Amino acid sequence: MLLCLNIFTNSFSKGIPQPSCIKSERQALLKIKQQFKHSNMLTDWKARNEDCCKWVRVFCNTVTGHVTELQLGNSNDTIASSRSKKAGSLKLGGKLSPALLDLKHLSYLDLSNNDFDPTQIPDWFWNLTSHLQYLNISGNQFQGKIPDLLTNKASLVLDLSFNNFTGSLPGISLNVTVLDLSNNFLSGSMSQFLCRKKHQMKLEVLNLEGNHLFGEIPDCWEKWRSLVAIELCNNNFSGGIPSSMGALTSLESLHLRNNHLEGEIPDSLTNCTPLLTLDFAANHLPGEIPPWMGEWLSKLIIINFQ
Ligand SMILES: *[C@@H]1O[C@H](CO)[C@@H](O)[C@H](O)[C@H]1NC(C)=O
Ligand SMILES: *[C@@H]1O[C@H](CO)[C@@H](O)[C@H](O)[C@H]1NC(C)=O
Ligand SMILES: *[C@@H]1O[C@H](CO)[C@@H](O)[C@H](O)[C@H]1NC(C)=O
Ligand SMILES: *[C@@H]1O[C@H](CO)[C@@H](O)[C@H](O)[C@H]1NC(C)=O
Ligand SMILES: *[C@@H]1O[C@H](CO)[C@@H](O)[C@H](O)[C@H]1NC(C)=O
Ligand SMILES: *[C@@H]1O[C@H](CO)[C@@H](O)[C@H](O)[C@H]1NC(C)=O
């Protein structure tokens, strides 16, 4: 059966000509490579290799031939395997080229864990977010402020963690589903970011851990009902845990460790029945676990109050 299927699919794919890459997009990729340093891992990115859809780390739409994905990031896995193969560093350096904007159908861009020049991100770069669905620039040393990111037309996963961004939290549009700004140097309060939203937001994961955010955690969570995970650990938040968090009926983890929070834990949290993990440690909250927690939050598996 498998053999037959194999023969069938082989002859099928031979029958239909696969579109090769689009010339203007190949030129854009070559310009992008020119601005990179240590790009030895991109050896087959060459003008004479015409089909750029076959280049390493480039993925195209199989019907239209447009470049849709650039996987130029390094997970620990790829770094570890490059070391074991003695292939030298897989990390790219240098600059980001505005030719990225010429890839009009790009929806997935991973530039994580590289060694780009530790400068401010150029303004044009953020315009990519209006058509991307996935942007990961985690683990570089990018600096400067993050502008409001309100123009994305589709759902968007944004990972800007482990950089050196400063300034306040950027505004986001309702289509952002994952926002990871953890481990930067962002400061100021959270109220601009959180409150004054007219529509229900689609955000599921909010990670602001390890910044210099301060002030109270605002009491306006009603528009954020899709949230599944909230990470606010290692900041300088003060005041109480807001009772409107009870509106978050999809919430599975709430991690507020190492802030200056005080007061009672609001019993509105009984509405957050999917909760699996709560971490309130290293705050000034009462040391006792409220009795209603065991009764209402039957799925809890980890509670940290220390
Ligand atoms: C971003 O890239 C890093 C490193 O490759 C990875 O660990 C992380 O999970 C990625 N973020 C998202 C949201 O996929
Ligand atoms: C990835 O590597 C960094 C240091 O290079 C380390 O701090 C981090 O814990 C590693 N992450 C994982 C998931 O192994
Ligand atoms: C970015 O921050 C880290 C500390 O988190 C620091 O070691 C590094 O020098 C900073 N890089 C730049 C370019 O400022
Ligand atoms: C993108 O470009 C337009 C101008 O074409 C500009 O108004 C906008 O603020 C830019 N930035 C972002 C993040 O979209
Ligand atoms: C959100 O995405 C939908 C399509 O999924 C789009 O129609 C809508 O205009 C987007 N909204 C915003 C504010 O960008
Ligand atoms: C944290 O907030 C307290 C007041 O709540 C303030 O005294 C302290 O300086 C702040 N620390 C940092 C690192 O911002």
219 inside domain: yes
Task: Tell me the CATH number at 113.
Answer: 3.80.10.10
Number of structural domains the chain divides into: 1
pLDDT > 70: percent of the chain: 89
13 inside domain: no
What is the model's pTM? 0.89
5 inside domain: no
Of the pLDDT bands very low, low, confident and very high (cuts 50, 70, 90), residue 40 is: confident
174 inside domain: yes
4 inside domain: no
Q: Look at residue 80 in the predicted model and tell me its pLDDT.
A: 61
Q: Is the pLDDT of residue 3 over 60?
A: no
User: Average model confidence (pLDDT) for the chain?
Assistant: 89
Which residue segment(s) compose the domain that 151 sits in? 22-304
- Assess whether the C-beta atom of 141 lies below 6 angstroms from ligand 3: yes
233 inside domain: yes
Mutate to test the pocket of ligand 3, among 117, 141, 184 (most ligand atoms within 8 A of CB): 141
Q: Look at residue 208 in the predicted model and tell me its pLDDT.
A: 98
Higher pLDDT among residues 145 and 119, named by residue: 145
176 inside domain: yes
Q: Is the pLDDT of residue 105 over 70?
A: yes
149 CA distance to ligand 5 middle (Å): 13
CA pair distance 143, 119, nearest whole angstrom: 6
Q: Is the pLDDT of residue 159 over 90?
A: yes
Residues contacting ligand 5 via CB (< 6 Å): 152-154, 173-175
Q: Is the pLDDT of residue 88 over 90?
A: no
122 inside domain: yes
155 CA distance to ligand 5 middle (Å): 8
Q: Look at residue 286 in the predicted model and tell me its pLDDT.
A: 80
